Amino acid sequence: MFDANTYTQRRQQLKQQLGGGLILLLGNEEASMNYKDNWYPFYQDSTFRYYFGLDLADLTGILDIDRDEVILFGPEQSMDDVIWMGALPSLASLAEQVGVSKVLPTEKIANYIASAKSLHFLPPYRPEHLLKLQAWTGKTVLEPSLPLIQAVVAQRSIKSEEEIQEIERAVNYTARMHRNVMQFAREGMKEHEVASEALRYAESTGNLLSFPIICTTQGQILHNHYRGNTLRQGDMLLLDAGIQTPAGYAGDMTRTFPVGPTFTGRQRELYQVVLETHEAAMAALKPGILYKDVHLLACRKLTDGLKQVGLMRGDTEEAVQAGAHTMFFQCGLGHMMGMDVHDMENLGEQYVGYTPELRKSTEFGLKSLRLGRALESGFVLTVEPGIYIIPELIDMRRNDKVTQQFINFEKLDTYRDFGGIRIEDDLLITENGSRILGEPLDRTLAEVEAIRQQAL
Q: Which residues lie near Mn ion (CB under 5 A)?
A: 252, 382
Q: Per-residue DSSP letters for 196-236?
A: HHHHHHHHHTT-EESS--EEES-TTSTT-----PBP-TT-E
Under a CB-based contact definition with an 8 Å cutoff, are residues 239 and 254 in contact? yes
* Residue 163 or 252 with smaller CB distance to Mn ion: 252
* Smallest distance, Mn ion to C-beta of residue 239, A: 12
User: What is the C-alpha to C-alpha distance for residues 299 and 281, in angstroms, rounded to an integer?
Assistant: 9
* Smallest distance, Mn ion to C-beta of residue 250, A: 9
* Burial environment of residue 4 by CB neighbours within 10 A (0 to 12, 13 to 18, 19 or more): middle
* Residue 368 or 382 with smaller CB distance to Mn ion: 382
* Residue 172 or 382 with smaller CB distance to Mn ion: 382
* Residue 64 or 252 with smaller CB distance to Mn ion: 252
* Smallest distance, Mn ion to C-beta of residue 384, A: 5
User: What is the C-alpha to C-alpha distance for residues 397 and 222, in angstroms, rounded to an integer?
Assistant: 19
* Smallest distance, Mn ion to C-beta of residue 20, A: 38
Rounded to 5 degrees, φ, ψ at 327 are -60, -30
Q: Per-residue DSSP letters for 268-318?
A: HHHHHHHHHHHHHHHHH--TTSBHHHHHHHHHHHHHHHHHHHTSB-S-HHH
415: left (phi over 0), alpha (psi -120 to 50) or beta: alpha
* Smallest distance, Mn ion to C-beta of residue 279, A: 17
* Residue 295 or 452 with smaller CB distance to Mn ion: 295
* Residue 330 or 382 with smaller CB distance to Mn ion: 382
Q: Taking Cα atoms as reference points, which of 157, 112, 116 lies closest to residue 337?
A: 157
**Sign of the CA dihedral 7, 8, 9, 14?**
positive
Q: CA separation (Å) from 175 to 194, 291, 413? A: 16, 24, 35
* Residue 28 or 382 with smaller CB distance to Mn ion: 382
Strand-pair partners of 440? none
* Smallest distance, Mn ion to C-beta of residue 124, A: 25
* Residue 382 or 403 with smaller CB distance to Mn ion: 382
391: left (phi over 0), alpha (psi -120 to 50) or beta: alpha
3-state secondary structure 39-66: ECCCCCCHHHHHHHCCCCCCCEEEEECC
* Smallest distance, Mn ion to C-beta of residue 252, A: 4
User: What is the C-alpha to C-alpha distance for residues 29 and 56, in angstroms, rounded to an integer?
Assistant: 8
Under a CB-based contact definition with an 8 Å cutoff, are residues 373 and 355 in contact? yes
* Smallest distance, Mn ion to C-beta of residue 90, A: 40
Under a CB-based contact definition with an 8 Å cutoff, are residues 38 and 32 in contact? yes
* Smallest distance, Mn ion to C-beta of residue 337, A: 7
Under a CB-based contact definition with an 8 Å cutoff, are residues 264 and 234 in contact? yes
* Smallest distance, Mn ion to C-beta of residue 240, A: 7
* Residue 297 or 427 with smaller CB distance to Mn ion: 427
* Residue 21 or 219 with smaller CB distance to Mn ion: 219
* Smallest distance, Mn ion to C-beta of residue 251, A: 10
* Residue 214 or 296 with smaller CB distance to Mn ion: 214
Q: Taking Cα atoms as reference points, which of 45, 342, 385 lies closest to residue 210?
A: 342
